[in-house]
Amino acid sequence: MVHQAQGQMVQEVAAGSLPAPPSRYVLRKEDRPTGGVAAPELAFPTVDLQRLAEPGDVEEAGKLRSALESWGLFAVTGHGMPESLLEGVRHAGMEFFHLPPEEKLRHANRTEDGEFQPEGYGIDRVDTDEQVLDWCDRLYLTVQPEEERRAQFWPARPPSLARLLHEYALGSERVARRVLGAMARALGLGEGFFLGRVGDKVASYARFTFYPPCPRPDLVHGLKPHTDNSVVTVLLLDPDVGGLQVLKDGRWVDVPVLGRGELLVVVGDEMEIMSNAAFRAPTHRVVARAGRERMTLALFYQPEPHRDLVPAEELVGEGRPARYKKLGAKTFADGFWDAFALGERTIDFLKVKVEQEPQELKAA
């Protein structure tokens, strides 16, 4: 049975102009967000994908390696998508969230019997009374394989949204593929190494997230701390309003508002497993904002569901034991939803880490 809180959109709560968020959204004192450190002083990494594609460009490859090692996410330029397309899909997404509730609920992430399922429009899954809810509404869609798109969840309004998302997804997939190629090269593996493990029929999911203005951003999470359920995620941020933070060396750091033509690439859990932790998925969260709404669009790339997730043999050896157990890509992807509702990492929730002997821990 669906939890009764599942039917309440944050946008409607926010429209009530309450002086403070209802208790369902209010975090325990120790979990409340504190101010992040501004990233510019730490030189936020940017990688030019066009330069990265040139095998001789050692400097750009070095930038990628250092971004992966010290941040786990980075801005990308040179991705070939026109700014007008990014602007267009962002605009269409925002228009969707501004439609009347009854229009959006045609694509609700609940069946007529009230059962929750992840695809469609609504809030994230609510399992218990204790779960503190995030200050955001979502629209979640299967994008690839194309034959698995479920038309009933794709908004009919604005009429341009479906076409723009399709077009944007084509460009975003090229970004993901180029990044996966470069990540393999960065480890001394062949360009096609991770792409081969993901398979030809990569799975991708789009998630539009809308953060309404919040009367007390200090009390809530826009989006709770998590790592992504992906090999890599391509994120189109809001060009005007920040809020994303990444946990870096134990501190929350603000991801800057990027240029209008830039995208953000985030390493996900599946890459952490496949690379045997050579690349780690960064923990990130979103801080809510007073007085400003914000919308982002994430595309999550996952391996074909029948594939195994396992540390690459090439990255396991003397002094570098396998850190993760083998499991099915579908089992892992499905486990994400259970873990996320509890605020846990899928890797921990599904007990994917190999217990290490004390001497191995010392060497690691």
DSSP string, 180-229: HHHHHHHTT--TTHHHHHH-SS-EEEEEEEEE---S-GGGS-SEEEE--S
Q: Which residue's CB is nearer to ligand AKG, number 202 or number 315?
A: 202
Among 137, 228, 262, 269, contact with Fe ion (rule: CB under 5 A): 228
Of 63-71, 138-146, 227-235, 303-311, the segment contacting Fe ion by CB under 5 A is 227-235
Taking the C-alpha atoms of residue 91 and residue 72, their distance in angstroms, rounded to an integer, is: 28
Q: Is 296 in the site for ligand AKG (CB under 6 A)?
A: yes
Residue 265 or 312 having the CB closest to ligand AKG: 265
User: Which secondary structure element, helix H or strand E, spans residue 85, and what is its range?
Assistant: helix 83-97
When CB distances are held under 5 to 8 angstroms depending on the partner's kind, the choice from ligand AKG, Fe ion, none that residue 346 binds is none
Residue of 131, 121, 187 whose CA lies nearest to 5: 131
12 dihedral zone (left: phi>0; alpha: psi -120 to 50; beta): alpha
* Site size toward ligand AKG, by CB under 6 A: 10
Of ligand AKG, Fe ion, none, which one sits near residue 264, judging by CB under 5 to 8 A according to partner kind?
Answer: none
The reply to whether 6 sits near ligand AKG by the rule CB under 6 A is no
Task: Show the site string, 272-291: x = touches ligand AKG by CB under 6 A, - = not.
Answer: ------------x-x-----
- 321 SS3 class: coil
**CB of 282 closer than 8 Å to CB of 266:** yes
Shortest Cβ 228–Fe ion spacing (Å): 4
Q: Under the criterion CB under 5 A, does residue 269 sit at the interface with Fe ion?
A: no
Q: Which two tokens stand for residue 9?
A: 């959109």
- Largest interatomic CA distance in the chain: 60
Region 328-347 residues binding ligand AKG, contact defined as CB under 6 A = none
The smaller minimum CB distance to ligand AKG, of residues 219 and 223, is found at 223
AA identity, residue 159: P
CB of 176 to Fe ion, least distance (A): 15
Q: Name the minimum Å distance from CB 226 to Fe ion.
A: 6
- Binding of residue 272 to Fe ion (CB under 5 A): no
Supply 176's token pair.
């993901």
| Contact call for residue 228 and ligand AKG (CB under 6 A) | yes
Taking CB atoms, the residue at the shortest distance from Fe ion is: 228
Please name the amino acid found at residue 179. Answer: V
Q: Which amino acid is at 142?
A: T
Comparison of 209 and 346: residue with beta carbon closer to ligand AKG: 209
CB of 39 to ligand AKG, least distance (A): 13
Give CA–CA dist 171/192, Å, rounded.
19
Give the three-class secondary structure for 326.
Answer: coil
Cβ–Cβ contacts within 10 Å for residue 222, how many? 24
Kindly tell me which of 169 and 310 has the beta carbon lying closer to ligand AKG: 169
Choose from ligand AKG, Fe ion, none: what does 296 bind? Cβ within 5-8 Å by kind: ligand AKG
Dist CA 338 CA 118 (whole Å): 11
Please report, as residue ranges, which positions from 317 to 336 form the binding site for Fe ion (by CB under 5 A): none
> Rounded distance, CA 356 to CA 364, Å?
10
Minimum separation from the CB atom of position 255 to ligand AKG (A)? 7
Q: Is residue 134 part of the contact set for Fe ion (CB under 5 A)?
A: no
Helices (H), the chain: 10-15, 49-52, 58-70, 83-97, 101-104, 161-186, 193-198, 269-274, 329-342, 346-349, 358-363
Q: Which of residues 188-207 bind ligand AKG (CB under 6 A)?
A: 207
Assess 223 for contact with ligand AKG (CB under 6 A).
Answer: yes
Q: Which of 209, 276, 302, 346 binds ligand AKG (CB under 6 A)?
A: 209
Interface ranges with ligand AKG (CB under 6 A): 207, 209, 223, 228, 237, 244, 284, 286, 296, 298
